[in-house]
Structure 1
Amino acid sequence: MKKFINSVDDLVPDSAAGLVMAHADLLALNEDPLFIHRRVPKRGLVALVSGGGSGHEPLHSGYVGHGMLDAACPGLVFTAPVPDQIVAAAQRVDAGQGVLLIVKNYAGDCTSFQMASDMLDIDHLTLLVNDDVAVENSTHTTGRRGVAGTVIVEKMVGAAAEAGADLYECKALGDRVNASTTSMGIAFSSCIVPDAAAPTFDIGEGEMEVGVGIHGEPGRHRRSMMPADKIVAMLLEPILQDLRLERGRQVLLHVNGFGGTPLIELHLLNKLATDQLREHGLQVQRWLVGNHTTSLEMAGASLTLTALDDEMVSMWDASVITPSLRW
């Protein structure tokens, strides 16, 4: 294992501190319990808190800032944050209109956020993200997993909160975005969790894991390598079957890298996926390409499709200023 690391125990807090140092105009660090929050807090608006295991950066910490999250709680690598982190973060960023907890559908995350919800004495609601169409059940979660669609949810709901939507309106929008969003991923290689110091799974030189999770969970099946256009068609098939969109529908396409795939390949996937979606009669109106929900150094990518309505387009286009997303 070759990684830039001093000790496994210090990796997450030291990385969080480094992120905050690099973006001191936007972020502040709470060391104990560990969470990252906006340096300039909101006033009189709904606050958004998310979090999850580290190793998926920039999700979630890279999306703290204007137009997205108010705080993010990083757990250990691929390990859910503890309830104390979530409670302290929610209390810190509560701006008087309640807190929306955004949770990816993994057993550990759901348990921690539920315990935090039971402990919180401020107005709050929970929004569950489960966009992964690859499997209905896995060893890590009950039902569909929350993956790259989380970024889409956090961006649109964050914009709504910034515009003054109340807690129930933010939750309703988030549920609608989640229900309109589907993802499917593929991996060419495994990642190495620092604490384990070994690949999460074994895969042959000429193989692909189709439907892989962002922790290296097994997918639908393993296939031999094939050209990129055929890979895109294979990923889009279950996405389109799930969403069942009518011709002419406006969509957002998110091509997400898992950490070990260069941008030249991600942009190729974006071109191929856009062409194929247009052949299906869909209007691709918005794009997001890059490494946004990663799995350490895993080579691979996922495609995420969101069926848009006018409000979603407006919320997507609204200004955002975070370390990893801004316009």
Structure 2
Amino acid sequence: MKKLINNAEDVTLEQLKGFGLAYDSIDVHLDPNFVCVAGGVKDRVALVSGGGSGHEPLHGGYVGMGMLDAACPGQVFTSPTPDQMVAACKAVNGGKGVLQIVKNYTGDVLNFQMAADILRDEGIEVRNVIIDDDVALKDSLYTAGRRGLGTTVVAEKVCGAAALEGYDLDQLAALCKKVNTFGKSMGMALTSCTTPQNGTPSFELAEDEMEIGIGIHGEPGTTRSKIKSADEVTEILANRILEDEAYTRNLSEWDAEKGDWVDVEVKDIVFQSGDEVIAIVNGMGGTPLSELYTVYAKLAEVAGRHGVKILRNLVGNYITSLEMAGVSITLVKTDDEILRLYDAPVKTPALRWGA
């Protein structure tokens, strides 16, 4: 293991300290760990997310004007704890409630639910929306159902803009659920990654092998094969996304009338000719930007063959898995509302335009 760290047990703490020093628009709180916008939130719904560290810039890099108001970083590839979420939500509660955006990993889902229960007991209205856009599989060691991947970034951007526009809590939750059902993602790896605490790769790949369908916590994928060209890899990922059938599942939501968590049936979209999308070609942490542009060129061609038009794109590292070499592709169908909110000004460490 070769990493720019000091003590493996202090990685998250030291990185948080550096993050806070780098951006004066963000406050970093320790014990419990969370980051939030400096100055807090006033008279609108607050937006909070979080997850294990090791996926930077997700989530802390998206804290700022037009996106998240706070983010809770767990230890590397480990869910943050409910006390972090409670503290973060209290710090940015602007009196209109809090929307928590939660990637579909078991620890994240359970801990954000516990935090929401605590906050409601203290008089703060909370809604949790789960992102589960990974088309590679239906279940994994980390989750019941599909994992949360790149659609998380679009959801945080769109909902952040909507919160600034004055959407109320129920409107914001409905919008976030729409973005989730409009988004599909899939990733692959050329190498594994190594967590500082373990010091060994999370899975082994031979020099001539690649892994299709990986997640972001160093877990192996669904298919292992000999390495293929960039165009071949892009065809596999893009076609799987564009040809994915409608996926129906039950996601846990808070029912205010019943005063309890209930399972609600959710069905995502099927891409069709004529659809317009936001596309993300995302590096997994160890892939050169030049290679991602090669993937994007092929993605645009494949989407065009399906009659799908890319209106907006992000190419770069947006949701990573430490130093893993690989790529994930995300396509999110747009409508007038989503596109308007996506284009709205944003100013965060990782995303900024129009501000």
CA shift digits 1:202-237 (9 cap, x unpaired): 011111100001112222211111111111110012
Q: Identify the match of residue 262 of structure 1 among 288, 294, 303.
A: 288
User: Partner residue of 2:68?
Assistant: 69
Deviations 1:108-158 (A, max 9, x none): 111111111111121110010101111100001000001121111111111
Question: Are 1:136 and 2:162 matched, yes or no?
Answer: no
Equivalent residue, structure 2, for 1:15: 15
> Alignment RMSD, CA only?
0.9
Residue 73 of structure 1 aligns to a residue whose secondary structure is strand
Spell out, residue by residue over 1:261-299, the C-alpha distance to the aligned partner (whole angstroms, 9 max, x if none).
000001111111011101211111110111010000000
What pairs with 1:137-176 in structure 2 (closer than 5 Å)? 137-176=139-178
Task: Answer yes or no: is 1:237 the counterpart of 2:239.
Answer: yes
- Please tell me the residue identity of whatever aligns with 2:235: A
Task: Specify the alignment match of 2:58 in structure 1.
Answer: 59
CA distance in 1, matches of 2:140, 2:95: 38
* Residue pairs, 1:107-256, within 5 angstroms: 107-120=106-119, 121=122, 122-242=124-244, 243-256=269-282
1:14 is paired with a residue whose SS is helix
Instruction: Give the C-alpha shift of residue 245 in structure 1.
Output: 2.0
Equivalent residue runs for 1:256-295 within 5 Å: 256-295=282-321
In 2, the alpha carbon distance for the partners of 1:18 and 1:113 equals: 26
Structure 1: 5+ residue runs without aligned partners? none
Distance between the aligned counterparts of 1:9 and 1:300, measured in 2? 26
What amino acid is the match of 1:2? K
> For residues 76-87 of structure 1, what are the structure 2 equivalents within 5 Å?
76-87=75-86
After superposition, give the CA deviation of every residue in 1:89-113 in whole Å (9 maximum; x if it has no partner): 0011000110001111001111111
1: CA distance, partners of 2:271 / 2:133: 16
Looking at structure 1, the residues matched to 345 and 65 of structure 2 have their Cα atoms a distance apart, in angstroms, of 8
Residue by residue over 1:3-22, the C-alpha shift from the partner in whole angstroms, topping out at 9 and shown as x without a partner, is 11111222101111111111
> Are 2:280 and 2:329, in contact at CA under 8 Å, matched by a contact in 1?
yes
Normalised TM-score (structure 1): 0.98
**Secondary structure at 2:332's aligned position in 1?**
strand
Instruction: Specify the SS of the correspondent of 2:112.
Output: helix
Deviation at 1:41, TM superposition (A): 1.9
**Residue type of the alignment partner of 1:32:** D
Measured in 1, the distance between the counterparts of 2:100 and 2:229 equals 40
User: Residue by residue, what CA displacement relative to the aligned partner does 1:8-60 show, whole Å, maximum 9, x if unpaired?
Assistant: 22210111111111111x10111121100001222111101111000000000
Question: 2:271, 2:131 → 1: CA distance?
Answer: 20
2:257 paired residue number: none
Gaps of 5+ in 2: 245-268
Distance in structure 1 (CA, Å) of the matches to 2:316 and 2:305? 24
Instruction: Give the TM-score taking structure 2 as reference length.
Output: 0.90
